[in-house]
Structure 1
Amino acid sequence: MRPMALLILALLIAAGLLCGPQWLNPLQLTAFQQQLIVDLRLPRVLFAALIGAMLGLSGSIYQLTLKNPLADSFTTGAASSSALGAVVAIAVGVNGYWVSLCAFVAGLFGLLSVYHMAQDRGQINPVTMILAGVVMNIVASAVISFTKYFYEDSLTAIVYWLMGGIFMVSWDRLAVCALVLSLSAFYFHRRSTALNLLALDEASAQSLGVNVHRLRTLAFVLSTLLVSIAVSFAGIIGFVGLIVPHVARSLFGSDMKHNLFYSTVMGAGLLVIADGASRSIIPGGAELPVGILTALVGGSFFFYLLKTRRRSLWNG
Structure 2
Amino acid sequence: MHKQSDEAAVTTIFTAIEHSRTADEVARQIEALILEGVLRDGDRLPGERELAADMEVSRPILRDALKALEARGLLATRPGGGTFVANIVGEVFADPMRQLIATHPKATADYLEYRREVEAVAAELAARRATQADKALLEDVIHRMHHAHAQGGFAEQVEIDAEFHNAVVEAAHNFVLLHTMRSCYRLLAEGVFYNRSKVFDLPGARDRLLAQHVAIFEAIRDGKPEEARKAAIDHIAFVERASAEAERTDEWERVAALRLRQRTENSTRNNKPKRPGAAE
Per the TM superposition, whether the score is higher than 0.5 is no
Which one has more relative contact order, counting CA pairs under 8 Å at least 6 apart?
A: 1
TM-score w.r.t. length of structure 2: 0.32
